Structure 1
Amino acid sequence: MIDQVRNNLRSHVAIKEGQNIVLGLSGGPDSVFLFHALRVLQNEMGFLLTCAHINHMYRGDDADHDEAFVEMLCRHHNIECQVLKKNATNYAKELKMTVEEAGRVIRYGFFRKILKEKGDGYIATAHNLNDQVETVLQRIIRGTGIDGLVAMTVKSNDIIRPILGIRRKDIENYLHHHNYDYCEDKTNNQLIYGRNRLRLELIPYIEKEYNSKFSDSLIRLSNSASQDHELLYGLTIEAYDKLRVLVKGQIHIDLKEFNALKIGLRSRLIRMAIEELKGNTTNIQYSNIETGIALCQQKETGKRLYLPDNIILEIAYDKIIIKSKAEVKDFEYNITVGLPVFISEINIGLDCYETKNQDFNKKNNKIAIDYDKIVGNLRVRNRKYGDVFTPIGMSGTKKLKDFFIDEKIPREQREETPIVLDDKEIIWVAPYRMSEHYKIDESTKRIVVIEIKEV
């Protein structure tokens, strides 16, 4: 088993003499086995080993016991150990995420801090073959594509997993054979986490009732997906390098050539562009990509798709533009009939002019109102807390917030929605709905058209 770790470090990681390895040492069997393996190999291979332990403070005395055990183990073998105490439960509430997610943020933040202090090297985690099986199955249940089936790899950027191909049972047998102590995390045997239920209930049930080698089957599936992923990634990079142009922090892609690609490549190109802008595609769903591809096929200039993490996909004539959405500052402009207005904060123009033609060309981006119903001055601004208006066809007022929700206006789009109003009330939530109070009727003598235009 030590040979397997050695081979992974040489062939997959290509560890060099003088590089650092920061080992996440929880005190559990997997991390303790990896500790002993790296301890044995460090002199032979010339890397420098540092251990890092996080006390998440949600297991009381057990967590304190694990911390003391790790410190004693490292001290006994003369290995540097750094410890962080941080309450994961409180941190999860602060960041509005699960305790598991918060723990991961804390761990990898601490690991990377240490690695930065030490210099060139890697963070080593003790994920084993069983962890890989659980990860693949969890992603299948949630919904995933080929990339998700690849799951974890021995090396991923600055993270290495030297025991990824070793079974948990073999690790425990090795520790017992060599009389190595380790800590038992009681929560691993409790059905309080979804992953525990996979490990303790679902996988054993499938192996008993359907396929005794189910775990092996999932690993083969993952390995096969990895080969396909490598091929598709190469094709995507080739197409991306050909089509992608970086313009002032925005990614431009030729629309015609994009639409000529197979749909699988198109979805990967969009993901690759988002990853270049954001650094990851963690919050991007399959449905987001589907909608983006459909928008590109429509080829309608000015159409936008607001994606998670403030990413915008926009069609602009013969180009697809993928960009980060800048935070919209509050704006307010006076409107004078007969003079155009440019709203620089959202890159939109507004025209306001008088007409005698009641049968003007009606479009979603323009309205016609009764000039004489305007009270005081016309203005355009973005929304404010407490805004209400009377949508056409209604007799009572409606909160603008509720209107946005009912109309399913994306949250990211609401801040840059132009609100046209006079000194009395909102006239138009552009381009969605005008007010009942300003509509043209049989007594109308003068008509004003207000129109917004993409610039």
Structure 2
Amino acid sequence: MYHKVKAYIEKYHMLDEKDKVIVGVSGGADSICLLFMLIQLKKEMGLSVEAVHVHHGLREKTADADAVYVKKVCKELGIGLRLYYEDVKSFALYNKMSEEEAGRYVRRRIFKEVLQEAGGTKIALAHHQNDNAETLLWNLCRGCSLKGMGGIAPVDGVFIRPLLCLKREEIESYLVNRGISYCTDETNLEDGHTRNRIRNHVIPYLEEQVNERAVSHMSETMEQMRQLWKYVESETTRYAARCIKVSKDQTRRVLLKAEFILVPEALRSYVLHECICQAAGGRKDIESVHTKMLSELLDNQVGRQARLPYGIVAVRRYEGIELRREGDGRPKDQNPEGLMKMRTLPRTSGKVIFPENPYTKWFDYDIIKNTVKIRHREPGDYITIDKNGKTQKLKQYFINEKIPQEERDRIWLIADGKHIMWIVGYRQNQQYQITENTRRILEIEFCGG
């Protein structure tokens, strides 16, 4: 069996010579078997091995006995051991997690801490084929993506799982034949957790009533799914780079519809998922329901919104869908008055020579009714669009000009009350134009933004 494990390690390039391996040892059959395998590899590859045992503060006396046993084994093998005592129950209550989930989180945190403190290179965990079959069935029953169908990966960053090529029976047989004892976690025999019910009832039924090699076949299928996921992930990254436009300040992302419709249909949900994850800065809790919301939003009219995890707001725009954190939409300007300069000029006789600078405009001073202000849009704003006095709501002007909604809140306006004199960078109000009746000119120079 050792050669089987060694070949599996070589297949996935889990270990290199001189690696320093941090191994999680609970005292159960799986972790004890892994420890003995690593000891043998240590002799061949010059590895350095250090064990870590985490006492969860549960199971009272039996957990204490597990810690004592692990100490004894490590001492006999000449392996360094770090023993941690954690209050997993309190941690679970505080973080509103199950004890099973909390225990997993605490263990992984400690393993990573030890890896850094000890200068380790790999963290070895004792998952085996039965664990993986349980994971696959649990993922399928609660709903999962293609990645979830790959189960537990042999290598995941610094984490390695050398025993994924073995069934539980092989591990226990190996230990019994060599007279190596191990601890039994009695809670694994209880049906309080879903995973336990799958372990104790579903898998035995499949092996007895459907196919005795059910676990092995599931393991082979998961390997195929992992290979397929690698390809899908690579293609998703490639298409996402084409479809997702990132703002210069990194606060907004736009999913470009023109590019997205060119993505093969089988990959679209993955590209949508990647778009949300990029905007959120995380992947946890991004589920298929959220990618579906984004897909439906693409078929909605401009301006429609959807709220996603991490405070992300998705808004339908002309070019696609904008994703940003809630509250990032409107600019926060401290001194807008400093962005414009104004002066009054007399209207001279003869031909009027207007300023060539597109950011300097002239207006008929005497028809202005209110204090001229520079600001962003407000409800009720309107503009006169022709010499006959025809007016148009500012919102409608933006729609007609197909100005993206995310830009509308950033456009500067020179306003006479609700009457917009100048949409900076776009057009000037016809009513304030210089005519033969103009006596005084208000010159406004836009200086920034």
TM-score (norm 1): 0.69
In 2, are the aligned partners of 1:259 and 1:297 still within 8 Å (CA)?
A: no
Tell me, in whole angstroms, the C-alpha distance in 2 between the residues paired with 1:26 and 1:279: 34
Tell me, in whole angstroms, the C-alpha distance in 1 between the residues paired with 2:4 and 2:161: 12
In 2, are the aligned partners of 1:127 and 1:164 still within 8 Å (CA)?
A: yes
* Paired residue type of 2:268: R
In 1, are the aligned partners of 2:286 and 2:309 still within 8 Å (CA)?
A: yes
Residue 351 of structure 1 pairs with residue 352 of structure 2:
no
Larger Rg: 2
Tell me, in whole angstroms, the C-alpha distance in 2 between the residues paired with 1:313 and 1:287: 14
Q: Which of 280, 293, 296 matches 2:295?
A: 293
* Paired residue type of 1:252: V
In 2, are the aligned partners of 1:259 and 1:296 still within 8 Å (CA)?
A: no
Tell me, in whole angstroms, the C-alpha distance in 1 between the residues paired with 2:373 and 2:83: 63
Aligned to 2:365: none
Distance 1:272 1:158, change over 3 A: farther
1:29-66 CA distance string (max 9 Å, x none)? 00000000001111321232111111111100011111
Aligned to 2:49: 49
Residue 236 of structure 1 pairs with residue 231 of structure 2:
no
In 2, are the aligned partners of 1:251 and 1:321 still within 8 Å (CA)?
A: yes
Q: State the shift of 1:286 in Å.
A: 1.4
- Counterparts of residues 11-30 of structure 1 (less than 5 Å): 11-30=11-30
Tell me, in whole angstroms, the C-alpha distance in 2 between the residues paired with 1:279 and 1:47: 37
Aligned to 1:76: 76
Distance 1:177 1:327, change over 3 A: farther
Aligned to 1:7: 7
1:168-192 CA distance string (max 9 Å, x none)? 0000000011111111111111111
- 34-43 or 280-289: bigger deviation: 280-289
Residue 34 of structure 1 pairs with residue 34 of structure 2:
yes
Please report the RMSD computed on the Cα atoms of aligned residues, expressed in angstroms: 3.0
In 1, are the aligned partners of 2:14 and 2:160 still within 8 Å (CA)?
A: no
Q: State the shift of 1:279 in Å.
A: 5.9
- Counterparts of residues 16-415 of structure 1 (less than 5 Å): 16-247=16-247, 248-249=249-250, 250-276=252-278, 278=280, 280-298=282-300, 300-325=301-326, 350-351=378-379
Distance 1:71 1:288, change over 3 A: same
Distance 1:340 1:215, change over 3 A: farther
Distance 1:75 1:145, change over 3 A: same
1:345-395 CA distance string (max 9 Å, x none)? xxx9642689xxxxx99x9xxxxxxxxxxxxxxxxxxxxxxxxxxxxxxxx
Count of residue pairs the alignment pairs up? 345
Tell me, in whole angstroms, the C-alpha distance in 2 between the residues paired with 1:216 and 1:340: 74
Gap runs ≥5 in structure 2 = 333-369, 383-391, 396-449
In 2, are the aligned partners of 1:34 and 1:163 still within 8 Å (CA)?
A: yes
* Paired residue type of 2:231: L
- 206-215 or 177-186: bigger deviation: 206-215
Tell me, in whole angstroms, the C-alpha distance in 2 between the residues paired with 1:235 and 1:18: 35
- 182-191 or 217-226: bigger deviation: 217-226
* Paired residue type of 1:167: K
Aligned to 2:191, what secondary structure does the other structure show?
Answer: coil
- 110-119 or 279-288: bigger deviation: 279-288
Tell me, in whole angstroms, the C-alpha distance in 2 between the residues paired with 1:253 and 1:219: 37
Tell me, in whole angstroms, the C-alpha distance in 2 between the residues paired with 1:341 and 1:185: 71
In 2, are the aligned partners of 1:339 and 1:352 still within 8 Å (CA)?
A: no
1:279-335 CA distance string (max 9 Å, x none)? 65331221111111111233x44333222233333333314333445699xx9xxxx
* Paired residue type of 1:307: L
Distance 1:37 1:349, change over 3 A: farther
Structure 1 vs Structure 2: percent identity of aligned residues?
26
* Paired residue type of 2:306: L
Distance 1:201 1:255, change over 3 A: same
* Paired residue type of 2:284: T
In 1, are the aligned partners of 2:49 and 2:80 still within 8 Å (CA)?
A: yes
Tell me, in whole angstroms, the C-alpha distance in 2 between the residues paired with 1:9 and 1:224: 18
Distance 1:168 1:340, change over 3 A: farther
Q: State the shift of 1:115 in Å.
A: 0.6
1:80-107 CA distance string (max 9 Å, x none)? 1111111111110100111111111101
* Paired residue type of 1:52: V
Tell me, in whole angstroms, the C-alpha distance in 2 between the residues paired with 1:324 and 1:69: 51
Aligned to 1:453: none
Tell me, in whole angstroms, the C-alpha distance in 2 between the residues paired with 1:185 and 1:152: 22
Tell me, in whole angstroms, the C-alpha distance in 1 between the residues paired with 2:237 and 2:371: 51
* Paired residue type of 1:291: M
Tell me, in whole angstroms, the C-alpha distance in 1 between the residues paired with 2:171 and 2:146: 29
* Paired residue type of 1:60: E
* Paired residue type of 2:86: K
Aligned to 1:375: none
Q: State the shift of 1:74 in Å.
A: 1.1
Aligned to 2:196, what secondary structure does the other structure show?
Answer: helix
Tell me, in whole angstroms, the C-alpha distance in 1 between the residues paired with 2:31 and 2:164: 12
1:374-421 CA distance string (max 9 Å, x none)? xxxxxxxxxxxxxxxxxxxxxxxxxxxxxxxxxxxxxxxxxxxxxxxx
Aligned to 2:389: none
- 35-44 or 306-315: bigger deviation: 306-315
Tell me, in whole angstroms, the C-alpha distance in 1 between the residues paired with 2:34 and 2:298: 49
Tell me, in whole angstroms, the C-alpha distance in 1 between the residues paired with 2:70 and 2:255: 52
